[in-house]
Amino acid sequence: MASSIRVRAILNGDTAEVQTLIQHPMDTGLVKDAKGELIPAHYIQQLTFTHKDKTVFLADWGTAVSKDPYVKFAFKGAAKGDELKVSWVDNKGATDSLTATIQ
């Protein structure tokens, strides 16, 4: 299975522009399936972006975020070739991470 995370980090002057797409069902726990049974809540609780051991972006998410979330942000202080680590953990304890190189 390929990674659930797609990242693109592009340096623009002194600012790195980061875009991320994460594959995740983000079930709210309020939706019923075809049989009428509730689909249990299953959502990302925390999403972290780390650059040089420093957390540059931290999101505490709940059920209000849509399926396959897309995140875009920018931060200063990065250089070309630096590594940016992305990781998420969901309410079932599942987790995934990926390290991208800033271009």
Partner 1 sequence: MTALRLALGLTVALGLGVSAVAAADKPDPVADAKAFQAFFVKKFPKVAFDDFVNGPYSMNEDMRRQWEEKEQFPPYEFALEAGKEMFSKPFKNGKTYADCFPNGGIGIRQTYPAFDATEGKVITLELALNRCREANGEQPYSYVKDEMASLTAYMAYTSRGKRFDIKIPDDPRALQAYENGKEYFYTRRGQLNFSCASCHVQSPGERIRAEILAPALGILNAMPIYRSEWSGMGTISRRFVTCNSQTRAVPLEPQSDEYRNLEYYLSYVSNGLPVSGPGARP
Q: Which residues bind partner 1 (CB under 8 A)?
A: 2, 6, 8, 19, 21, 23, 66-68, 70
Report the residue number, 3 or 52, with the smaller CB distance to partner 1.
Answer: 3
For the bound state, the minimum distance from the C-beta of residue 44 to partner 1, rounded and expressed in Å, comes to: 15
For the bound state, the minimum distance from the C-beta of residue 93 to partner 1, rounded and expressed in Å, comes to: 22
Report the residue number, 34 or 81, with the smaller CB distance to partner 1.
Answer: 34
Q: List all residues 6 or more positions away from 60 whose beta carbon is below 8 Å from its beta carbon.
A: 45, 46
3-state helix, strand, coil in the chain (%, to 5): 0, 55, 45
Q: List all residues 6 or more positions away from 53 whose beta carbon is below 8 Å from its beta carbon.
A: none
